[in-house]
Structures are given as C-alpha cells and as structure tokens.
Chain A
Amino acid sequence: MDGKPTNPAQKRYLARFIPTMAVYVAAIFTVSWVFNRYEPGGPLAWGLALLPALPLLAIIAIMGLYLREEGDEFVRNILVESMLWGVGLTLSIMTVWGFLEIYAEAPRLPSFWAFPIFCFGMGLAQPFIKRRYR
C-alpha cells in the first residue's frame, strides 16, 4: 500500500502500525541505554533484549490483520505477491551469506536483519508488481 489510506482497513492498519513503531523506537533507545549504563547479565539481560522484539512481533501480526481485513482482493493480491518477494529476498540473502560465513569467514550478519530485509524486498517489489497490471 502506498500514498494516503483509501479504505477503512488501511486506516486501521496505520492506526495500529504507527503507535507500535513508536513503541519499538522507544524500546530500542531504552534498552540500549540500560545496557550501556547498567550492563545487566543473566536472565535480566535476556528479558531486556526481548523487549524491542515484542513490538516487531506485533507489527507482523498487524500486517496479518490488515491482509485479513482488506476487502479489495486486487490490493490484497498485490500485497501477498510483494510479501512473497520479500520472503524470497530474505531467504536468498540469509542462505548466501550463511555459507559465506561458514566457509569464507565473512563478517557475521545478525539474524535481526531478516525482518528489515523482508520489508525492504516487499517495498521494492510493489511498484514492479503494480506495473504488471497496468
């Protein structure tokens, strides 16, 4: 989806997405600050490290909800196709880089990057998919 929201499902999506991303940004800053200042360890570190992941899990659920609520099947179709491109890009990069790490001592790519890569692939694919239907 792009531009301004045009239907209730898209408005609901944004109403969920924006505050959740705000929580994510706040969680990143807070957790980084806590780790820098207090250097927590053990179970506390695990708990704190999970905090920024929770809003991102919520984002995944929010994307799923939008897919279910979007009443325009063509719009839904484009979104699903772009998600498949995102999945394809993520799996490709992770697979290739994984072997480079194992055999060629490539620097470690944190698995955290899987989701941003997915979103990037999804966003990149959308205009190309839309152009096919023009």
Chain B
Amino acid sequence: MKNRLKVLRAERDWSQADLADRLEVSRQTINALETGKYDPSLPLAFRIARLFGQPIETIFDDGQA
C-alpha cells in the first residue's frame, strides 16, 4: 500500500532509526513500511497516525478513493 511515511519522516528530519525508536519497532520494519511492501496492522497504523498527528487515510492510500 502506498503511504507518505518517508515524506512525513523527512519533514521532521528523522532517520529511519529515529522513527523506529518512536514506534518501538525495528528499522527493517520502517523500511518495509516505507517501500509499501508491508501493510501495518490497524493498531500500528493508529500509532503511526498519532505520532504524526494526522488521520490514517492521509498517510496511507489503498488506491480505492
């Protein structure tokens, strides 16, 4: 699924490791999310949305809208 994680992360000047720490996941997880090859569970998607202070649907795009 496409997402804006990389952009949001860059806006805050965070490295993948920074974001990994804030979400309490590994750096490889961040990488898999950013490439759109791994879709997060709903709980992790909510954690990401809260961290960036944006609704889930502005961060993730399932291509249906």
A: which residues have CB within 8 A of B?
6-7, 71-75, 77, 130, 132-134
Contact = CB atoms under 8 A, between A and B. Distances in A.
A7 B29 CA distance: 13
A115 B46 CA distance: 39
Interface residues of B, number: 14
A120 to B, nearest CB: 23
Contact of A75 (B28, B37, B41): B28
Contacts, number: 37
B38 interface: yes
Given A133-B32, A134-B35, A73 B26 contact: no
Contacts of B25: 71-75
Contact of A73 (B28, B35, B37, B44): B44
Contacts of B24: 71-72
A132 B37 contact: yes
A133 B38 contact: yes
B13 to A, nearest CB: 23
B26 A6 contact: yes
B63 to A, nearest CB: 19
A72 B35 CA distance: 17
Closest 4 CB pairs of A and B: A74-B29, A133-B32, A72-B25, A133-B37
Contacts of A75: 25-26, 28-29
Nearest to A7: B26
A73 B32 contact: no
A77 B33 CA distance: 13
17 contacts: A7-B26, A71-B24, A72-B24, A72-B25, A72-B26, A72-B29, A73-B25, A74-B26, A74-B28, A75-B26, A75-B28, A130-B28, A133-B38, A134-B31, A134-B32, A134-B35, A134-B37
